[in-house]
């Protein structure tokens, strides 16, 4: 059974948060933390960074709940915007593009075709590493559209840019990734 706070809109919950209602904050956190964590994980490639970013996003929300303006977009877009800014700061500070994905992001080998699974895991790892080397504007659209499976319109709304920009960035990102992967294959052959 849903609690009364879970039935409230994000705006209603934020009003309650602004007055110190911890239950309302918990409901908002549960509603949005998964999306923020996944976005940060895909963008950074590191679980601990994604956890830190998620925590920073919600700490900012709890400290300044009135900073969100509903007439400017959804709460999810606002939170992803905060996450984007935090990731940029982390990127500048820690050079995230040089990091590699945690082993937990690569699927475990099944008992069936061990060599096929190892090859697939290697390909996934190569793709994830290539995604991490993309500039932020391209990495964001890959994460939103390809990994999070958001529509172009949803990605545009979350990123605060036109749909055409999302499409062109995604096309460019795919081209860059293809070139990187083909180059790696040539080097390893």
Task: Evaluate whether the domain defined by 1-99 bears CATH number 1.10.1740.10.
Answer: yes
pLDDT at 105: 41
Spans of all domains in the chain: 1-99
Which residues 6+ apart lie within 8 Å of 22 measured at CB?
Answer: none
CB atoms within 10 A of CB 175: 11
pLDDT at 17: 87
pTM of structure: 0.72
Splitting the chain (189 residues) into consecutive groups of 10 residues, what average pLDDT does each group show? 71 89 92 94 92 94 87 88 88 52 41 56 77 90 90 89 95 90 72
pLDDT at 62: 87
**8 Å CB contact between 48 and 41:** no
pLDDT at 120: 67
Please report which helix (H) or strand (E) contains residue 157, including its range: helix 152-159
Read off φ and ψ for residue 96, nearest 5 degrees. Answer: -60, -30
pLDDT at 92: 66
Distance CA 179, CA 142 (A): 15
């Amino acid at each position: 059974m849903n609690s009364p706070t879970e039935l409230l809109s994000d705006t209603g919950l934020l009003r309650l948060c602004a007055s110190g209602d911890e239950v309302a904050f918990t409901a908002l956190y549960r509603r949005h933390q998964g999306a923020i964590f996944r976005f940060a994980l895909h963008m950074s490639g590191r679980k601990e960074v994604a956890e830190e970013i998620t925590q920073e996003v919600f700490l900012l929300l709890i400290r300044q709940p009135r900073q969100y303006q509903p007439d400017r977009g959804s709460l999810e877009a606002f939170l992803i915007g905060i996450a984007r800014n935090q990731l940029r700061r982390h990127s500048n500070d820690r050079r995230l593009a040089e990091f590699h994905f945690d082993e937990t992001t690569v699927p475990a080998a099944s008992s069936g075709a061990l060599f096929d699974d190892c090859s697939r895991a290697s390909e996934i790892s190569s793709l994830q590493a290539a995604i991490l080397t993309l500039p932020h504007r391209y990495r964001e659209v890959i994460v939103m559209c390809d990994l999070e499976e958001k529509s172009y319109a949803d990605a545009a709304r979350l990123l605060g840019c036109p749909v055409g920009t999302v499409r062109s960035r995604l096309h460019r990102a795919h081209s860059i990734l293809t070139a990187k992967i083909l180059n790696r294959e040539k080097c390893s052959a």
